[in-house]
Amino acid sequence: MQLNYIANASLPSVSGKTIPVIDPSDGQVFDEIQRSNAHDIDTAVRSARECLELVWSRFNAAERGRLLMRLSAKVAEHAEELALLEQRDCGKPTKQARADAAALARYFEFYAGACDKLHGDTIPYLDGYSVMTWREPHGVTGHVIPWNYPMQIFGRSVGGALAAGNVCVVKPAEDACLSLIRVAQLAAEVGFPAGAINIVTGYGHEVGDALARHKGIDHISFTGSPAVGTLIQQAAAERHCPVTLELGGKSPQIVFADADLDAAIPAIINAIVQNAGQTCSAGSRLLVEQAIYEPLLQRLGHAFENLRVGPAAMDLDVGPLIRQSQQQRVWDFLSDAQVANIAMVAQGQIVDEAPDTGFYQAPTLLRDVPATHRLAQEEVFGPVLCAMSFKDENHAVELANATQFGLVAGIWTRDGARQFRMARRVKSGQVFINNYGAGGGVELPFGGVKSSGYGREKGFEALYGFTTLKTVAVRHG
Ligand code: NAP
Ligand code: MG
């Protein structure tokens, strides 16, 4: 049984209740986590506050950096153990689970190096005055983490917050807690003081809600659905608590006729099948210039047919979806596609070894999806790619911007001037030209516009969000 991790100690919830942990590869229960409540959140927030005031605020930036670097090394040392936990808990194929553990180590490494480079400005002002700005931590930060990339999102969110001098209370998704409990234990082993990193597990509507409402939380970082993002903002608004929101997307891959298709095709496929499509930055809409629409769909169709789906430990192209309700959600979208006569170009194969009790979905390529259909508008969060054609650049921009989201856009063209025109005109937080998120992008500021949220995590930019600016004006005559 898994316990909460509060003030460097493993604690049961005061509720006395637990939640079963399910392996998405076979649908079977293999562990349990605490079903925590508002009392547990309160304990964690108090521990965090005490740590902040008595211990953590005395660590200078270089010391915080050294500690984060030790944690990075510790995570790297335990990468295989963490990857196996994530694989079982979230159904990630081995290579993806390993990549996530490596990314977690890299986030800590990046933010370790960033701690002592974060500084304010001096500002020219009236004669006889000196004015400066200080970057100060918010204090106790709350982190609501989704189930799709628990280690990566913990790395970017908690790594950045700690680097900036905050302490953290973390609520992982109930479907994905195991790796994060272990990382918090590893942090204690390398010397993070009791209360700097606290993990409280449970249901979002119970413990997540309690976290969002707790008066002792000074900043909230949330990654998840737009609907819950609204609830978080509403709760935070009651006490004017700042929030950073990353709410997913319906990101377009825009392919012009002059594109290098040999480079584009593997990136387009990876962007929709990685983590079984359960990726906020999934390239879920394929916008193709008319002249190459048919040949590109043909090539992609062959590639989709060869994709294999199966248990995480088999390390195939695609693993299971996280849970039965997510599988049902994808089925609902696909049955809507049938009702609307949206044609399927191709589907991958679920291997015979995949148990019927697992949550599998074959990658699916749909064509001529009307831009207004919910398949082209809403986040499916499954391996479903929706293709449509465009006639010219203006039409491509119009389609690209025609959803409520604006997280990432991929642009494939050899025309340099067009690359820049398109990058300017698409409404999104990130634009990739002739690549799509290669290299993990730990260093690259990430976040959305419109209903994809606001605020930036990843990269150095995140540190501004995890601090507040104090302006100090001194009159010295
Ligand atoms: P979700 O409900 O938004 O879950 C995200 C996180 O918020 C989880 O930790 C969840 O906890 C927590 N949460 C849920 N209700 C809450 C509340 N009332 N107050 C505070 N925290 C709360 O997302 P989901 O239901 O798991 O997935 C639904 C859809 O959201 C997906 O199909 C996908 O479209 C989107 N999504 C996007 C991302 C992304 O990276 N942008 C990530 C996940 C999901 P529990 O899970 O423990 O309840
Ligand atoms: Mg699980």
Ligand 1 atom at minimum distance from 201 CA? 47
Pairing assessment for the beta strands 219-223 and 243-246 based on DSSP bridges: parallel
Q: Using alpha carbons only, give the angle 334, 337, 338 rounded to the nearest 5 degrees.
A: 95
Nearest CA to ligand 1 atom 19: 209
pLDDT computed for residue 121 by the predictor = 98
pTM above 0.75, yes or no: yes
Nearest CA to ligand 1 atom 25: 225
Q: pLDDT category, 362, cuts 50, 70, 90?
A: very high
Residues with catalytic roles: 246, 280
pLDDT (mean) for 133-159: 98
pLDDT (mean) for 395-419: 98
Is the C-beta atom of 208 inside 6 A of ligand 1? yes
Is the C-beta atom of 146 inside 6 A of ligand 1? yes
Nearest CA to ligand 1 atom 5: 224
pLDDT computed for residue 422 by the predictor = 98
Where does 4-247+454-475 sit in CATH, by number?
3.40.605.10
**pLDDT > 70: what percent of the chain?**
100
Report the C-alpha dihedral over residues 378, 347, 263, 444, rounded to 10 degrees: 30
Is the C-beta atom of 447 inside 6 A of ligand 1? no
**pLDDT > 90: what percent of the chain?**
99
376-389 tens-digit pLDDT: 999 999 999 999 99
Residue to probe by mutation, ligand 1, list 228, 272, 452, most atoms within 8 Å of CB: 228
Separation of 132 CA from ligand 2 center, angstroms?
Answer: 48
Is the C-beta atom of 246 inside 6 A of ligand 1? yes
- 475 pLDDT more than 90: yes
Q: State whether residue 273 is helix, strand or coil.
A: helix
pLDDT computed for residue 293 by the predictor = 98
Which ligand does the CA of 452 lie closest to?
1
Is the C-beta atom of 203 inside 6 A of ligand 1? yes
Which ligand does the CA of 176 lie closest to?
2
Residue to probe by mutation, ligand 1, list 36, 225, 404, most atoms within 8 Å of CB: 225
Ligand 1 atom at minimum distance from 279 CA? 40
pLDDT computed for residue 203 by the predictor = 98
pLDDT (mean) for 26-37: 98
323 φ, ψ (degrees, to nearest 5):
-160, 170
Nearest CA to ligand 1 atom 20: 208
Ion ligand 2: residues, Cβ under 5 Å: 22, 89, 175
Alpha carbon distance 294, 291 (integer Å): 8
442 φ, ψ (degrees, to nearest 5):
-55, -35
The ranges assigned to domains in the chain are: 4-247+454-475, 252-443
Is the C-beta atom of 144 inside 6 A of ligand 1? yes
Report the C-alpha dihedral over residues 347, 350, 351, 353, rounded to 10 degrees: 180
Nearest CA to ligand 1 atom 6: 146
Is the C-beta atom of 231 inside 6 A of ligand 1? yes
pLDDT computed for residue 445 by the predictor = 98
Nearest CA to ligand 1 atom 29: 225
166-178 tens-digit pLDDT: 999 999 999 999 9
- 57 pLDDT more than 90: yes
- 249 pLDDT more than 90: yes
- 211 pLDDT more than 90: yes
**252-443 carries CATH number 3.50.50.60:** no
Nearest CA to ligand 1 atom 8: 173
167-207 tens-digit pLDDT: 999 999 999 999 999 999 999 999 999 999 999 999 999 99
Is the C-beta atom of 205 inside 6 A of ligand 1? yes
Separation of 428 CA from ligand 2 center, angstroms?
Answer: 31
Separation of 170 CA from ligand 2 center, angstroms?
Answer: 17
pLDDT computed for residue 438 by the predictor = 87
